[in-house]
Amino acid sequence: MSSVQIFFNGAVTKELFVQAYNFDGSTKKAKKKTLIVFLFSYLLTLLGIASQNEWKIDVSILFSSIVTLAFFGFVWWYVIERGERNNLNRTINGHGEGEITESSIIFRSNENSSAINWSEFIKYKKENEIVLLYDSPKSGLFTVFHKSFFKCENDWNSFVSLVEKNIG
């Protein structure tokens, strides 16, 4: 029985992270859902105020509700953008190297190494030269592998085959 051993080495650049983030798309969906719920709640509040006031909305109430909506909208946007920037900064500065075997992916650094068994990944997404591996259903975090991380086309194709074989 031949043992598969594929080495990888690469760094996630800002461009690669943005490409992977856009490909992932889960954060964009969450933002849209949150915005819809926020706007729906705002409209319900305005309708509630209008119904208590014989279906008339005072200009001062309308103005204060718009200011409140703008304030909370800005806070919501700022918190999400800040979180995304923090994720981006942590991911970009990382350099990844290691090896891929039939049973796991081994990540190595100067200080240590860690192995993640294929069974710990819950799903993957593949597009042209990018593979995203997800290890948590709720966090939305993923590990990025780019074709350039591999020495040759054969290593990349072997990696993709292992992903397809071992994950969902």
State the Cα–Cα distance between residues 97 and 117, nearest whole angstrom. 16
Around Cβ 20, how many Cβ atoms within 10 Å?
Answer: 21
Q: Are 61 and 48 a contacting pair, CB within 8 Å?
A: no
Q: Is the CA virtual torsion 25, 11, 90, 111 positive or negative?
A: positive
Per-residue tokens: 150: 């591999």
Note whether 56 and 118 are same-domain residues: no
Note whether 132 and 86 are same-domain residues: no
pLDDT score recorded for residue 104: 93
Query: Please, is 136 exposed, middle or buried when counting C-beta atoms within 10 Å of its C-beta (0-12, 13-18, 19+)?
Result: exposed
Per-residue tokens: 155: 């290593």
pLDDT score recorded for residue 1: 42
State the Cα–Cα distance between residues 107 and 8, nearest whole angstrom. 9
pTM recorded for the entire structure: 0.64
Note whether 67 and 130 are same-domain residues: no
Q: What is the gyration radius of the CA atoms in the chain, in angstroms? A: 23
pLDDT score recorded for residue 33: 73
**In total, how many domains does the chain have?**
2
Q: What is the mean pLDDT of each run of 10 residues along the chain (168 residues)?
A: 81 80 69 74 72 68 74 71 56 73 89 89 91 76 88 95 91
Among the candidates 37, 59, 90, a domain finishes at 90
Range of the domain at 35: 25-90
Among the candidates 58, 90, 122, a domain finishes at 90
Note whether 78 and 142 are same-domain residues: no
* Beta strands across the sheet bearing 142-146: 123-127, 130-134, 142-146
Note whether 113 and 83 are same-domain residues: no
Note whether 42 and 10 are same-domain residues: no
